[in-house]
Amino acid sequence: MKKFIILIFVLIGSYFLFDLVYYRWSFFVPNVKETKIISYTESNKMMISTGEKYEPITVKGVNIGGSIPGHYVTDYAIPYETYYSWFEKIQELGSNTVRLNTIFNDEFYNALYDFNVEHEEKLYLIQGINLDSYALNSHNDGYSRSFYGELMTRAENAVDVIHGRKKMSLSNIGKGVYKKNISEYLLGYVVGSEWMDDTIIYTNNKYKNKTSYEGDFISTTKEATAFETMLAKVLDHLVTYETKKYNEQHSVSFINSPTTDPVGDIPIIKETEEEITYLTPENLKFFYHKLIKLDIEHLTSHDGYNGLFAAYNISSYYPNYLSYEKEEYNDTYFAYLLKLNNHHDMPVLVTEFAYSTSRGVSSLSDDRYGNFGGMTEEEQGEALVNAYHTIIETGSAGGLIATWQDEWDKRSWNTIEKIDIPETMNWNDVQTTNQGLGLLTFDPGKEKSVCYVDGDISEWSEKDKISDTDELSLSVKQDEKYLYLMIDKKRNRQEPLYIPIDITSKSGTKFAEYYNLKFDRDVDFLIVLDNKEGNILVQEYYNVLKAVDGYELYGKNTYIDKPAKDSNKFENIDLLIEPYSTNKYSRNYKQATLVNTGHLTFGNGNPTSENFNSQADFFEKDDKIEIRIPWQILNFSDPSSMMIHDDYYENYGVDSYRIDELFIGSSFSSNIDLSTYKLKSWGEKTTYHERLKKSYDIVKNDWRNIR
């Protein structure tokens, strides 16, 4: 009996030892077999093994995000079944490639393996190897342990994951037991994301002696900088590790972007007491607003390895200096991509290009592709198709749309200060552009939303009504995306309709001077509807843009010269698109660019309607008006917990507190009473259902005809 027990313990111990050495430590003895090339590059082409031969592949792909509503990326919450169903839709789109920017949970790789085994037409993967945001944006230089060392470790992890030989517990770089070998479906590895230019500059200046590297398969040229040398070491280590351990090789690259690309000039500015070199409109076209260049051409491959390609995250609307390419081609995106392809002697792959169906806008463009944000779903599809054709026409190896699905946990630069960051995944902030990038969206509700702004009021009931007079009745609903209003005018009246809303007790006014309106309580917001025109206005004191960016916008410190708490002035709700320019090298100081995001768009907001307009805010039919108001417009920082902005001038910025009710009125007359609406927080109990956007069909109709 004792021997049996000892044997059991020995077997258990052996299993755990094997598990530790084989899967967690990934111990291996270098293999001397002939190396199998799975993917490589040839001139401007990406090549992939199909088993018996190699074929060129023009990448038509999508980036898959790691989050779904109610979860952050690091929750690893997307199950196998969801990934598999996505792969079916992605292949039906006409896509041949998907890209991850980091290691996902094992469910993704299991689903991709099974999908490719069960389908003749394969979906290939580009595997990203990335650092966390702290390492990318903190004090780290390129050779610090948490930067260079972590890239090395994550490169090894990625290789082991691809070859189905890794176990990882809860972490921010993967989770699960990876046992499926998907290496035959891997098109390549891509290291990093959009690097911070100050990190590159700091690294180059700190390590001026580290500009040369001779690796097993990848080395540097004499032009290489210290940061490029660090990346050469990482890529060479990745290729060497995969070659020695698994006898396979794939193509590799690192991410680059327009702010660090190798084209265009970095200006040499002379600044002395006697002379400043100004950037005038005449020489701006030769000026690229970048501080440093990053060039994969300063890396070279050898010893039979031929897998380097250039990877760029680039969309047509950013950065602004792309407009200086317009003169010759009348298409900034075409001109810029052509310049990149002419510079490189290797394939150029656009690893991300994006357009957003968000309601909010964060970048304006005068090109044929469109702004970043504020697009209808049809406009998004057309922009993506046009951009992809430009990518191909300029000689690129392909492009990947960013992203496949909308992600509620994303932020954008011009709205991030207005929201409670830790809770963003619990509600859909349509004012944030980066939440609307997908071809697949998530609408609130398990099967359908509580309201569609379409003129059909069958979804409204008596329990939704908060006020009822001979003139008007007002009903209210809510979900994870909007506050909904329905006004029954009862009889045909064409004069302007006024809807005051009281959110906070910390400010507001009982009088709107411009409209000569009186309210029975202090009001923070005023909706004005006049036929098919509409606008949401905010009381001056509760205007977040004025409080936070007052100095840049108005040239005065609004915390010193602040508006009155009971100011009777109502203002547009603006989004900051381009900050006030303080470039001392330019004679032309540029005013900030603002967009009135309080403007309400008339249209049908029901996705099943033939005349569906995804940007619709209100619709009227048979004297019934339906309105949907984004939570952020009303200064909610986290509607899932009903948190709103506190007094800006007492807190010196955006702070939040919780409310459990708000007050709304509606009238054609000058005296308006407000009624109570009890708010319902949902916390982490987020409901949603998937819906393919109209842009999906537009891209599919184009991509299915491209081989």
Please indicate whether residue 286 or residue 374 has the higher confidence score (pLDDT): 374
**39 in a structural domain:** no
Q: Return d(Cα 612, Cα 695) in angstroms, integer.
A: 13
One-letter amino acid at 323 equals S
* Residue range 579-609, pLDDT digits in tens: 765 554 454 445 678 999 999 999 999 999 9
Residues 39, 188 contacting (CB under 8 angstroms):
yes
* Pairing of the two strands 361-363 and 372-373: antiparallel
* Residue range 98-156, pLDDT digits in tens: 999 999 999 999 999 999 999 999 999 999 999 887 777 777 888 999 999 999 999 99
Same domain, 67 and 96: yes
Percent of the chain with pLDDT over 70: 88
Same domain, 487 and 366: no
One-letter amino acid at 128 equals G
At residue 204, does pLDDT exceed 50? Answer: yes
Same domain, 699 and 618: no
Q: What is the CATH number of the domain that holds 167?
A: 3.20.20.80
**23 in a structural domain:** no
**48 in a structural domain:** no
pLDDT at position 374: 95
pLDDT at position 169: 74
**54 in a structural domain:** no
Same domain, 313 and 459: no
Q: Give the pTM.
A: 0.91
Question: What are the residues whose beta carbons fall under 8 Å from the beta carbon of 612, sequence distance 6 or more?
Answer: 377, 604, 605, 606, 694
Same domain, 276 and 360: yes
Helix axes 694-703, 80-93, angle to 10 degrees: 50
Please indicate whether residue 470 or residue 268 has the higher confidence score (pLDDT): 470
**458 in a structural domain:** yes
At residue 289, does pLDDT exceed 70? Answer: no
Domain of 567 in residue numbering reads as 453-686
**35 in a structural domain:** no
Q: What is the DSSP letter of 533?
A: E
Angle formed at CA 119 by CA 113 and CA 121, multiple of 5 degrees: 105
Same domain, 475 and 391: no
Question: What are the residues whose beta carbons fall under 8 Å from the beta carbon of 466, sequence distance 6 or more?
Answer: 474, 475, 476, 664, 675, 676, 677
Q: Return d(Cα 279, Cα 436) in angstroms, integer.
A: 36
Same domain, 404 and 491: no
Confidence of residue 269 (pLDDT cuts 50, 70, 90): low
Confidence of residue 286 (pLDDT cuts 50, 70, 90): very low
* Residue range 624-643, pLDDT digits in tens: 999 999 999 999 999 999 99
Same domain, 370 and 485: no
CA dist 28 to 103, 165, 179, 675, Å? 21, 11, 16, 71
* Residue range 645-693, pLDDT digits in tens: 999 999 999 999 999 999 999 999 899 999 999 999 999 999 999 999 9
Same domain, 386 and 243: yes
Same domain, 555 and 698: no
* Residue range 57-69, pLDDT digits in tens: 999 999 999 999 9
Average pLDDT on 290-295 reads 89
* Pairing of the two strands 574-578 and 593-596: antiparallel
Maximal CA-CA distance, the chain: 95
* Residue range 378-388, pLDDT digits in tens: 999 999 999 99
**544 in a structural domain:** yes
Q: What is the DSSP letter of 21?
A: I
Tokens representing 492? 């045909």
Average pLDDT in the chain: 89
Number of C-beta neighbours around residue 652 at 10 A: 11
Average pLDDT on 18-30 reads 54
Where do the DSSP E strands lie in 15-151?
Answer: 36-37, 39-42, 45-49, 54-57, 59-63, 97-100, 124-129
* Residue range 515-568, pLDDT digits in tens: 999 999 999 999 999 989 999 999 999 999 999 887 777 767 888 889 999 999
Same domain, 180 and 117: yes
Same domain, 670 and 697: no
Domains: count for the chain: 2
